[in-house]
A and B are shown apart, each in its own frame.
Chain A
Amino acid sequence: MSIVFSQNSPIYLQLVEIMKLKIVIGVWPVGEKVNSVRDLALLFEVNPNTMQRALAELERQGFLYAERTAGRYVTKDQQLIEDTRHGMAEAYIVDFCENMKELGYSKDQIIDLIIKEAK
């Protein structure tokens, strides 16, 4: 998998966001074991120490938990996953609305367009 990292922020933070998304959309299912640092580093083509740092950050934020020697697992905290999903959705909508306003659309026009698109 080749990932295009954005230019201007630390790679480990970008990895955190990418993996968070995998958890939120269920590509990494609840309670499932995640691959080893080495395998993930290979998968994302990044330095293993950078991957280690990203996984530690996900652990700190509660998205992963470690079982002593058995490795890391995806959190079983559905609330956290749901809250994160909402957070991401809100961020998309804020972005979207700002762009639409810049294009000169009113609130009602935006809503109309969304309803049309959704049909």
Chain B
Amino acid sequence: MGTLMEIKDLTKRYGHKTVLDNISLSLESGKIVGLLGPNGCGKTTLMKVLTGLIKDYTGTVLIDGQEPGVYTKSIISYLPDKEYFSGNKRPSDMFDLFEEFYTDFDRKKAENMLVDFDLDPMQKMKTMSLGMQEKLQIALVMARNAKVYLLDEPLGGIDPLSRDKILNTILRNYSENALVIISTHLIHDVETIFDSVLMIRRGNLIVNKQVDEIRAESGKSIEEFFKEVF
């Protein structure tokens, strides 16, 4: 274990609007971290800075010692909050694509996850339900042997049974060498899998604490604590 992510005075503005306001934090490998906050608080913007999709920020962002760029892209596995593949593709096509793009993509692992999720590798994407598509995305993202996993709302449109499977998949892939950051608003279902949580309000990082520390100090679950804070 060691520091894998170091953020100092990170600020991002869109015109006059400050979306991320002077955020500083440091996260270690071997941790599963929850990124919590209401819609529009800056969670997705933060994820996009980390992935290198947003470049015009101020402050310092270091991932495994490097600024977002070619190297960090190679070690970050990112699940965006929107689907990004075309309807005529099938899971097997996506596997080909990922195999070509990412040297750390473990096809066998992805195929096993597909079986576990009851998905057909030959079914066209456009005939899949939203939940099925989300499961496929999770399989693709988690089958990479990355150092950092950024999952933006991985449980969005998913039924409770599939939710359990996805959480199980995340736990099954736990590695002491990797950092997993999960943004979600379904706190109740996932709080037991977090080491710590980050809470963002209007671009400010207002909480960065261990889950059990919050429970011990406040006598509340993370969900109740969250409701109180916001």
Contacts and interface: CB of A to CB of B under 8 A. Distances in A.
B32 interface: yes
Given A41-B171, A41-B174, A42-B171, A47 B216 contact: no
A49 B195 contact: yes
Interface stretch (B77-85, B92-100, B219-227): B219-227
Interface string A1-15: 010010111111100
Contacts, number: 55
A30 interface: no
Contact of A12 (B32, B174, B212): B212
User: Among the interface residues B30, B168, B211, which one has the most CB atoms of the partner chain A within 10 A?
Assistant: B211
B192 A10 contact: no
A41 B195 CA distance: 12
Q: Majority SS of interface residues in chain B?
A: helix
B168 A11 contact: no
A86 interface: no
B219 A8 contact: yes
A113 to B, nearest CB: 35
A10 B215 contact: yes
A22 interface: no
A101 interface: no
Given A7-B221, A7-B224, A10-B212, A48 B167 contact: no
A45 B192 contact: yes
B168 A45 contact: yes
B195 A45 contact: no
B194 A9 contact: no
Contacts of B216: 9-10
Contact of B193 (A8, A9, A47): A47
A47 B194 contact: yes
Given A9-B215, A10-B215, A11-B215, A46 B193 contact: yes
Q: Which of B167, B193, B220 neighbours the largest number of chain A CB atoms within 10 Å of its CB? A: B193
B43 to A, nearest CB: 20
B171 A49 contact: no
Interface in B128-169: 164, 167-168
B107 to A, nearest CB: 23
A2 B171 contact: no
Contacts of A8: 215, 219-221
Identify which of B30, B212, B216 gathers the most chain A CB atoms within 10 Å of its CB.
Answer: B212
Contacts of B215: 8-11
Contacts of B201: none
A10 B213 CA distance: 7
Interface in B197-213: 211-213
B90 interface: no
A84 interface: no
22 contacts: A5-B192, A5-B221, A8-B215, A8-B219, A9-B215, A9-B216, A9-B219, A10-B215, A11-B211, A42-B168, A42-B171, A42-B172, A45-B167, A45-B171, A46-B193, A47-B193, A47-B194, A47-B195, A49-B30, A50-B211, A50-B212, A53-B212
Interface of B: 30-32, 164, 167-168, 171-172, 174, 192-195, 211-213, 215-216, 219-221, 224
